[in-house]
Amino acid sequence: MNVLIIGAGSAIAVATARLYAARGCSLFLVARNTQRLEELAKDLEVRGAAKVGQHTLDVLEHDKHAEAVSTAREFLSSVDIALICHGSLPDQAITETDFAAARRELDVNGLSVISLITLLSALMKEQGAGTLAVVTSVAGDRGRQPNFVYGAAKSMVSTYLQGLRGRLLPHGVHVIDIRPGLVDSPMTARFEKGVLWSTPELVAGNIVKAIDRKRHTVYTPGYWRIIMAIVRSIPDVVFKRLKF
């Protein structure tokens, strides 16, 4: 099995890559930090990966996406699974007043993802097979006061995937939207952690299972499906007064 992971430096990506490494898969990692990539590549080899390739990419440089994807293809020869994990959690207050900051976050969490999906869909269509899994967020289910810029970007990707899933169906390509809840990672280090928080390792296990079983929209951990169904059902007249 050949796995491409974009945003390989994220805690969820690292934990997922380790599970595939333990299965003896070949992996190709794309991330921004070259030193971290090298560390991770060695780690995955020790953990059992057949071979590990790496490529440095800042996702904001859209014109370099094609090169990253073609390098991955060259290394893996066929991309059975592509997992897009990159993202950033912005400071909501700044993005509300500074549009340049908001646009940057929408790009990192939304547009750059769609750019990569476009390239990967073409690749997988040509292969006539593959699974495209994208990590979005429960934040995309409804715009909430503390993080609606982040949520808007994530819901853009989720909506895109809903349509793409049907488009790629005749080509044997499967599309999965993975929506993690609160995950204890360096990205969320500044938050107080309560009972709803889960670990990157647990989320990674769910991602691998979802890919194995060709699920469509995955909430991880699963109880987030119920929580978000409730959140979505709150009438606007009440919801607009909620600060969570």
Partner 1 sequence: MQLSGWGNYPAVQADVLAPASAAELQSLLAHNAYGNWICRGGGRSYGDSALNGRVVSSRYLDHFLDIDEDAATVRCGSGVSLGQVLEVVIPRGLFPPVLPGTKHVSIGGAIAADIHGKNHHVEGSFCDHLESFSLLLADGSILRCSAAENAGLFHATCGGMGLTGIILDATLHLNKVSSVSINNRSFSAKNLQHCLELLDEHNAATYVVAWLDCLKQGEDLGRGIVYVGDHGDDDNLQLVKRRGLSVPFHTPGFFLNRFTMSQFNNLYASWNKGRGDTTLQNYEQFFFPLDSIGNWNRLYGRKGFLQYQVLVPTEAKDILSRIIRRVAESGQGSFLSVLKKFGKANNNPLSFPSAGYTLTLDFRWRESLFPLLDELDALVLGCGGRHYLAKDARLSESGFKTGYPRWQEFMQVKAEVDPHNRFASLQSQRLGLTPVSTSHSSHKKAGPDK
Tell me which of 94, 186, 212, 226 binds partner 1, using CB under 8 A.
186
Residue 4 CA to residue 62 CA, distance in Å, equals: 18
- Please name which of 186, 117, 104 lies closest in space to residue 149, comparing C-alpha atoms: 104
Give the shortest CB-195-to-partner 1 separation in angstroms: 10
User: Beta strands 217-220 and 173-180: pairing type?
Assistant: parallel
Report whether the peptide linkage leading into residue 221 is cis, meaning its omega lies within 30 degrees of zero: yes
Residues in 17-36 at the binding interface with partner 1, rule: CB under 8 A: 22, 35-36
Cα-flanking dihedrals φ and ψ of residue 237, to 5°?
-60, -30
State the nearest-atom distance from the C-beta of 90 to partner 1, in Å. 18
88 binds partner 1 (CB under 8 A): no
Position 39 contacts partner 1 (CB under 8 A)? yes
CB of 143 to partner 1, least distance (A): 29
- The residues annotated with a catalytic role in the active site are 150
Pick the binder of partner 1 from 43, 80, 91, 96 (CB under 8 A): 43
Closest residue by Cα to residue 48 from 68, 19, 7: 19
Alpha carbon separation from 128 to 33, 70, 79 (Å, rounded): 32, 17, 11
Q: Between residues 27 and 102, which has the closer beta carbon with respect to partner 1?
A: 27
CB of 18 to partner 1, least distance (A): 9
Which residue, 121 or 185, is less far from partner 1 as judged by CB?
Answer: 185
Distance CA 125, CA 213 (A): 20
Q: Given the complex with partner 1, which of 43 and 91 has the nearer CB atom?
A: 43
| CB contact at 8 A, 179 and 136 | yes
Least distance in angstroms from the C-beta of 116 to partner 1: 23
Q: Which of 105, 210, 176, 175 is nearest to 147 (CA)?
A: 105
Nearer to partner 1, 131 or 198 (CB): 198
Q: Which of residues 190-229 bind partner 1 (CB under 8 A)?
A: 192-193
Specify whether the CB–CB gap between 154 and 110 falls below 8 A: yes
- For partner 1, give the closer residue by CB, 63 or 192: 192
User: Which residues lie near partner 1 (CB under 8 A)?
Assistant: 11, 22, 35-36, 39-40, 42-43, 46-48, 186, 189, 192-193
